Amino acid sequence: FALIETETHTQSIKGKTRLPSQQRVSRFLLSPSYRFSIAEILRKLYNKIILHLRKKMAKKNPRFTRQPLKNMKKEKKKKKRKSIKEIIKEPSTAVLKSSAATALTNDRGVRNLSSWVKTQLLGRGTYGSVYLATSVNDKDKTERAIKSAELLRASSLMDEGRILTRLQSPFIVRCFGDEIAREENDLHEQYNLILEYCSGQTIADLIEDNHGELLESDVKLFARDILSGLRYIHDQNIIHCDIKPENLFLCPTDHRLRANGYLTKIGDFGLAMEKGSIEYGDGTGHRRGTARYVAPETMSHGIVDFGTDVWAFGCTVLEMLTGELIWGEHGDLGFDDWVDLIGHSDCLPRIPGWLSKEAIDFLSRCLERDVHKRWSSHSLTNHPFVRL
Q: How far out from the chain centre does Cα 355 lie?
A: 28
Burial (CB < 10 A; 0-12, 13-18, 19+), residue 238, is buried
Amino acid occupying residue 81: R
Q: Is 148 helix (H, G, I), strand (E, B) or coil?
A: strand
Q: Does residue 242 have an active-site annotation?
A: yes
Q: How far apart are CA 164 and CA 348, in angstroms?
A: 33
Instruction: Flag whether 147 is marked binding.
Output: yes
**Residue pair 385/351 in contact by the 8 Å Cβ criterion:** no
**Residue pair 66/179 in contact by the 8 Å Cβ criterion:** yes
- Residue 239, Ramachandran bin (φ over 0: left; ψ between -120 and 50: alpha; else beta): beta
Phi and psi (nearest 5°) for 194?
-100, 115
Q: How far apart are CA 201 and CA 245, in angstroms?
A: 10
Name every residue whose Cβ is closer than 8 Å to that of residue 305 and which is 6 or more positions away in sequence: 239, 275, 283, 297, 371
Which residues are 25's β-sheet partners? 7
Indicate the DSSP class of residue 375.
Answer: P
**Paired sense of beta strands 262-266 and 248-252, if any:** antiparallel
Residue 188 C-beta-side C-alpha neighbours within 13 Å? 10
**Residue pair 10/17 in contact by the 8 Å Cβ criterion:** yes
- From the list 159, 178, 242, 268, the catalytic residue is 242
The CA dihedral of 53, 59, 65, 70, to the nearest 10 degrees, is -170
Amino acid occupying residue 64: F
User: Residues forming the annotated binding site for ATP?
Assistant: 147
Active site residues: 242
Binding residues: 147
